[in-house]
Structure 1
Amino acid sequence: MNSTQDDPVPGTERVPPRTVFGLAVPALGVLAAEPLYVLVDTAVVGHLGALPLAGLAVGGVILSQISTQLTFLSYGTTSRTARLHGAGRRAEAVSEGVQATWLAVIVGLILVVAGQLLAGPIAGVLSGSGEVTGAAVSWLRIALLGTPLILITMAGNGWMRGVQDTARPLRYVLAGNGISAVLCPLLVYPAGLGLEGSAVANLIGQVFSAGLFVRALLTEKVPMRPRREVMWAQLGLGRDLVLRSLAFQACFVSAAAVAARTSTEAVGAHQIVLQLWVFLSLVLDSVAIAAQALVGAALGSGSSRRARGVAGQITRYGLILGVVLCGLFAAVSQVLPRAFTTDPGVLAEVPHAWWFFVALQPIAGVVFAIDGVLLGAGDAAFLRNATLLSAALGFLPLVWASLGFGWGLAGIWTGLSLFMVFRLIAVVLRWRSGRWAVVGAVRA
């Protein structure tokens, strides 16, 4: 690799932009596929009326806790796999995927049972309305059956990213989500299943995606038996990522609960803007996926200079992409919300969250990019602490104050803004310090 004079840290190496985007573009497809399907789902259900949309909002928040809470199956697996791949130990790298898949099956089955038992009480706590609770539970009981399949797909994405293969995951995820997107309007309307039809469509697509990832592991010809010591090591890294995810979940579950108690129209509007936020977060995270693979491989091969160079590149790319998205979604503010609902009450609430969502995109671009760098380096403990503190000092106080003082969606999204600013300060300082760049096939 050639060093360049414009690197942010002297003595670093950059990688060619085509290397970054060769990984990032397929990763973007994978990251965007699920939230894009959810946007389609939201648009289909939104035309049923405010109540089904509110039920989807509450049920979707609960289901999303599974994938968000267990991100170590993808991000943690990428970090461990990338270091082994960088050290030239491919078989061991793929074996990380095998063990992550076993964890996905075990944890997924436990969550299916727990979810069926607790769906009603949890939805009731979040919704604050008997009608919304009933709609949410009817959707959720079907959707929860796909939990092991969701987690298998996450593990598959994790090990494939680690060995710098982002093309096959794109095909696998698009196949499953494409099937779901076609079936969703058919099952909701002509088949007459209503809200439950969207959950059935989602489940069928997950069967296809998970099956393709399992087949990919089988073709690698590595031992498929469970290895307790590897799974325990993955869980060790997972502990920090789970605690970090708990902070996210506390924030977004609180936001959904406060929005639901504001009005049915407010929770519907929050669902629309939140799903766009999730979608764009994953778009911004696509270059960070490349950072995870490239930073992990560089550190595994012993090159901290290359790891620091990639970190600088990814941060710049994230900022540029965030600015572009900010301008784009400002331009479509009067048009895009109408694609999701025609309910006048919901549309009247959307602007109270929309402009926070737009203004946060450049900040999010930098935060998610550096998150990717630190995740690739296995710096999970720092990310855990930074996220927990940002949630405790920023998001949560303002969200619950919004309930008490009646600030509505504006108060909720002010809390999200403060949360992102605190995270920005923390990750930028960590990136500039260079203390994350620990070399070796396994991070000590």
Structure 2
Amino acid sequence: MTTLQTIRSKIWGAIKLSLNGQQQDYTQGSIPKAIFLLAIPMILELSLESVFAVVDMFFVSKLGQNAIATVGLTESVITIVYSIAIGLSTAATAIVARRIGEKNPADAAHAGAQALISCLIATVILSLSGIFFAPQILALMGASGEVVRDGAIFTRIMLGSSLVIMLLFLINGIFRGAGDAAMAMKSLWIASILNIILCPVFIHFFGLKGAATATVIGRSCGVIFQVYHLFKGSGILKFHKANFRWDPHVMKTIISIAWPATLQFIIASGSWIILTRLVAETGGTAASAGYQIAFRNFVFFILPCWGLSNAAATLVGQNLGAKRIDRAEQSVMLTAKYNAILMSFVMLLFLFFSRSIVRVFTTEQVVLNYAGTALQIIGSGFIFYAIAMVMSQALNGAGDTKTPTWINFVCFWLFQVPLAYLLAKGLHMNSVGAIIAIPVAEALIALVSWYYFKKGKWKKVQL
């Protein structure tokens, strides 16, 4: 066997090992191998989700500008739901990973069950708000009367199904904390594949509301798969009824980690909402549609970056639990390096082939021009996105969720939003000015996050 064949055999063997869900000890052995075993299923998990996002936009775009704008504006609001889900997921990942690193799977399952209880409580308000105030929410986002009229049912279905979104994110966070990235991948694959299959069919028969219905059905099936494996599966985590008894101490720990993490993502998503509205105000429906197409493509390529970042969070949590602090730090630095290399290729793709990419989604020249320009501008900051994500997730994985929250507040709300308004309205650059603020702010976040990670406060967090 040649050297090349040996390398291929080892790589293929590692890929199969990462996807079969076999329990691994990530607190010892090769760090690059640990990153690889965790990151492959995480990248594949999020990549298919991003494929669905693009496929969904492809079929929705056939319904016209109003449909595109409705989906984009609704998704901007739903990012608040995602923020809460990711906040709870971050807390669950950090605590479960710490307990697994301590070789205490029973307490890991107990912490995960308490996180599920907090999820159910948080969802009630979100779902009811979406069901009863969908038209007002769209109007608040700056949607035209036609968009509100045509899109309210889509928004009502999507926001009304907040529980499914929350559970899908949270339970996958529990699986990741346990190091079972393959199970998280499988559940999201089930949800995404069903979405991809049902989306064009439901849109054909039911229009825009069909897209929302297909998404809810797909995600619900993913959650059913997750719940089955939490209670009946063969993984390291085994949930029992006793785990769901109210535990004030564990709940307090979850909330203390989750609320800054939730606020962290609300701050980030809130700034995106402001920028989405600013683009609509200064560029009109065509600019808003073009921006949404660019944003969906951005999501398509950035989610694999999240996969590597989530691997860093798991490695930090488990190695801190095992008292292997140096290994935790080495894991993060190596993951950041891999992420930056990966995203540098994506950056070049967006800079030089943006028009070719967005032409798949629209034939309207004015929308195509807006989308192509937006994609180039956003794509120029991919290396910074890569570094910022790894550093932020590493801090979150250690349970230090307050530091990334402050970083997001300063860099997004005190820097990005004012800069966007200055460029868009003050300097009359309109929607282009608003979009330029995105990579500039992300560069600042990357530098500040790197600085605080190197300071090492995260090493002393107790969970």
Separation in structure 2 between the aligned mates of residue 351 and residue 132 of structure 1, nearest angstrom: 23
| CA positional deviation for 1:422 | 1.8
Separation in structure 2 between the aligned mates of residue 231 and residue 36 of structure 1, nearest angstrom: 36
**Which residue of the partner structure matches residue 278 of structure 1?**
299
**Which residue of the partner structure matches residue 379 of structure 1?**
400
From 260, 266, 272, the counterpart of 1:240:
260
Do residues 361 (structure 1) and 382 (structure 2) align? Answer: yes
Identity %: 24
Separation in structure 1 between the aligned mates of residue 99 and residue 378 of structure 2, nearest angstrom: 38
List structure 1 segments (4+ residues) > 6 angstroms apart after TM superposition.
none
**Contact 1:272–1:340 (CA<8 Å) still a contact in 2?**
yes
| CA positional deviation for 1:250 | 2.1
CA 1:216/1:14 → structure 2, altered by over 3 Å: closer, same or farther? Answer: closer
**Which residue of the partner structure matches residue 44 of structure 1?**
59
**Contact 2:294–2:372 (CA<8 Å) still a contact in 1?**
no
**Which residue of the partner structure matches residue 223 of structure 2?**
210
1:42-121 matches, cutoff 5 A: 42-121=57-136
Structure 2 alignment gaps of length 5 or more: 1-27, 233-237
1:403-442 matches, cutoff 5 A: 403-405=424-426, 406-438=428-460, 442=462
Q: Which moved more, 1:366-375 or 1:227-236?
A: 227-236
Q: Which moved more, 1:15-24 or 1:174-183?
A: 15-24
CA 1:14/1:384 → structure 2, altered by over 3 Å: closer, same or farther? Answer: farther
**Contact 1:394–1:422 (CA<8 Å) still a contact in 2?**
no
| CA positional deviation for 1:340 | 1.5
Do residues 199 (structure 1) and 212 (structure 2) align? Answer: yes
**Contact 2:158–2:216 (CA<8 Å) still a contact in 1?**
yes
**Contact 1:363–1:420 (CA<8 Å) still a contact in 2?**
yes
Separation in structure 1 between the aligned mates of residue 82 and residue 355 of structure 2, nearest angstrom: 32
Separation in structure 2 between the aligned mates of residue 215 and residue 254 of structure 1, nearest angstrom: 39
| CA positional deviation for 1:32 | 2.6
**Contact 1:394–1:418 (CA<8 Å) still a contact in 2?**
no
2:63 is paired with a residue whose SS is: coil
- Give aligned pairs, total: 427
Separation in structure 2 between the aligned mates of residue 366 and residue 338 of structure 1, nearest angstrom: 30
> What's the RMSD between the two structures over aligned residues?
1.8
| CA positional deviation for 1:408 | 2.5
**Which residue of the partner structure matches residue 272 of structure 2?**
252
Separation in structure 1 between the aligned mates of residue 294 and residue 312 of structure 2, nearest angstrom: 27
**Contact 1:55–1:134 (CA<8 Å) still a contact in 2?**
no
User: What are the Cα deviations for residues 79-129 of structure 1, in whole angstroms up to 9, with x where unaligned?
Assistant: 111011000111111222212222222222321112122222121011241
> What's the TM-score, normalizing by structure 1?
0.92
Q: Which amino acid counterpart does residue 162 of structure 1 have in structure 2?
A: G
**Which residue of the partner structure matches residue 166 of structure 2?**
151
**Which residue of the partner structure matches residue 49 of structure 2?**
34
**Which residue of the partner structure matches residue 9 of structure 2?**
none
**Contact 1:30–1:170 (CA<8 Å) still a contact in 2?**
yes
**Contact 2:350–2:380 (CA<8 Å) still a contact in 1?**
no
**Contact 1:360–1:417 (CA<8 Å) still a contact in 2?**
yes
**Which residue of the partner structure matches residue 7 of structure 1?**
none
**Contact 2:95–2:111 (CA<8 Å) still a contact in 1?**
yes
Separation in structure 2 between the aligned mates of residue 202 and residue 402 of structure 1, nearest angstrom: 36
**Which residue of the partner structure matches residue 400 of structure 1?**
421
> What's the TM-score, normalizing by structure 2?
0.88
CA 1:128/1:154 → structure 2, altered by over 3 Å: closer, same or farther? Answer: closer
Separation in structure 1 between the aligned mates of residue 91 and residue 338 of structure 2, nearest angstrom: 23
User: What are the Cα deviations for residues 146-169 of structure 1, in whole angstroms up to 9, with x where unaligned?
Assistant: 211111111111111111001111
**Which residue of the partner structure matches residue 412 of structure 2?**
391
| CA positional deviation for 1:221 | 4.3
Separation in structure 2 between the aligned mates of residue 86 and residue 340 of structure 1, nearest angstrom: 45
Separation in structure 2 between the aligned mates of residue 424 and residue 14 of structure 1, nearest angstrom: 29
Q: Which amino acid counterpart does residue 247 of structure 1 have in structure 2?
A: I
**Contact 1:187–1:194 (CA<8 Å) still a contact in 2?**
yes
